[in-house]
Structure 1
Amino acid sequence: MSAMDVIKILLVEDQQLVREGLKGLLALHDDLQVVGEASDGAEALEWLAAAAAEVMPDVILSDMRMPRLDGLGLIRALAARALRVPVLLLTTFDDTAAFDEAVRAGAKGFLLKAISPDTLHQALRDVHAGGTALRPSLTTRMEAKGGERAFTAADQPDPLSPKELQVLRLVASGRSNTEIASLLGNSEGVIKNHCSAIFSKMGVRDRTQAVLRAIDLGWI
């Protein structure tokens, strides 16, 4: 495998024992390389500032809950600095609120730490390729909590047009309407209209529900 094929990873985890364990797991794969480590989001930002001239990671693998600056804060800080490095969050807790927060913040991945090493490997590959890995086990429970979704697993939404599906996938990647408009060469008003049509066809109320529903359907 050539050096170009290797995915460079910045590992952010406050518990040293967990961080060392993750490093060991990632080292088992020839296409993964940990190029930096940090104990929280603030230290990760310092590492990025110092390393920018030499090496930038392809993916940041970060714990969700950390002191000083947590995973969500790190994502927002990266966006404020225009650093477009995708972040895959790991969490110990099966928490729907945390999942919603991660989707809104723009996490490209959100996984429970109880996943298998193979699942983590594939998730890193997916995120590096521009996709998402938003598949915690908790999403399957949401239908059981009355009123949280406007649909059931049996519902089949109206099909989306290719453009609507493109917009939906960009929404799932955490981009704003303004960013999507810029990427697709449309006005923000056109993108808002596409989002309204997507929500109507899918029978959902907002962006978070649309992403959750798209995950259920295997669209993202």
Structure 2
Amino acid sequence: MKSNTMMTIKLLLVEDQQLVREGLKGLLALHEEIRIVGEASDGAEALELLAALPPEAMPDLVLSDMRMPRMDGLGLIRALAARALPIPVVLLTTFDDAAAFDEAVRAGARGFLLKAISPDTLRQALQDVAAGGTALRPSLTTRMEERHGERAFTAADQPDPLSPKELQVLRLVASGRSNTEIAALLGNSEGVIKNHCSAIFSKMGVRDRTQAVLRAIDLGWI
């Protein structure tokens, strides 16, 4: 998306360290398309804040630290799902840990980023997730491939095969691109790409993009 047509992203910021939280606020405030509608020191406080917000002020996405006291980022993701609040969550972590990445995507995180990333990378990741994509950094997905590379599968584990076009779409999904971006790259309408994604999810037995990426890594498709 270009800046002159960019949607406003309403963001809930969740970080237990005040200095880090203030730094993120200052950084994100530099971008006019990102508006922070609330901040919390942990997942439990975030849930309290969400319960008090009017519908028009609900965030488009949550940017949360992964490790926090009381309720961490994973607990927040699960609590949002239990409350039927479909707000995508991008997790920030200090360590490039494949086990943590595995845990995050299985919980339903739409993004998993290192705190050492550049401001431009963070901004782009938030835009991608707000547009319906994912933000899974390549170094982390590579580590996941290494982690699952020796896993053995039986015939029962194998989902229905994807068509060449569906596999192409899945690989672009895994790179973090939105449906709009994939449509532009492949010369299709966004509706066609949505249909491909629906078919991919059905064949793979998953419910969303992050689960599809994780399953594809397990199967060695990407």
Judge same fold: TM > 0.5, yes or no. Answer: yes
* Structural RMSD (CA): 3.6
Name the aligned partner's letter for residue 93 of structure 2. T
SS in structure 2 at match of 1:114: coil
| Separation in structure 1 between the aligned mates of residue 117 and residue 221 of structure 2, nearest angstrom | 18
Deviations 1:91-129 (A, max 9, x none): 001111110011111100001000000000000000000
Contact 1:15 1:39 (C-alpha < 8 Å) held by counterparts: yes
SS in structure 1 at match of 2:57: coil
Q: Count residues with an aligned counterpart.
A: 184
Q: Give 5+ residue unaligned stretches, structure 2.
A: 153-160, 177-193, 196-200, 206-210
2:140 counterpart of 1:131: no
Contact 2:102 2:144 (C-alpha < 8 Å) held by counterparts: no
Contact 1:112 1:136 (C-alpha < 8 Å) held by counterparts: no
Deviations 1:172-219 (A, max 9, x none): 9xxxxxxxxxx98xxxxx93xx127xxxxxxxxx966534479995xx
2:214 counterpart of 1:195: no
| Separation in structure 2 between the aligned mates of residue 31 and residue 208 of structure 1, nearest angstrom | 28
Q: TM-score, normalised by structure 1?
A: 0.70
Distance 1:105 1:21, change over 3 A: same
Select the residue among 75, 91, 114 that pairs with 2:116: 114
Aligned to 1:75: 77
CA-CA distance at 1:165 after TM superposition:
6.9
Aligned to 1:60: 62
2:197 counterpart of 1:210: no
Select the residue among 33, 48, 51 that pairs with 2:50: 48
The percent identity for this pair of structures is 66
CA-CA distance at 1:140 after TM superposition:
2.6
Distance 1:211 1:67, change over 3 A: farther
2:24 counterpart of 1:14: no
SS in structure 2 at match of 1:44: helix
Q: Give 5+ residue unaligned stretches, structure 1.
A: 151-157, 173-182, 185-189, 197-205
Contact 2:9 2:130 (C-alpha < 8 Å) held by counterparts: yes
| Separation in structure 1 between the aligned mates of residue 73 and residue 54 of structure 2, nearest angstrom | 20
2:104 counterpart of 1:99: no
Select the residue among 132, 143, 163 that pairs with 1:160: 163
SS in structure 1 at match of 2:36: strand
Distance 1:54 1:147, change over 3 A: closer
Distance 1:9 1:50, change over 3 A: same
Q: TM-score, normalised by structure 2?
A: 0.69
SS in structure 1 at match of 2:69: coil
SS in structure 1 at match of 2:62: strand
Which deviates more from structure 2 when the two are superposed, residues 140-149 or residues 89-98?
140-149
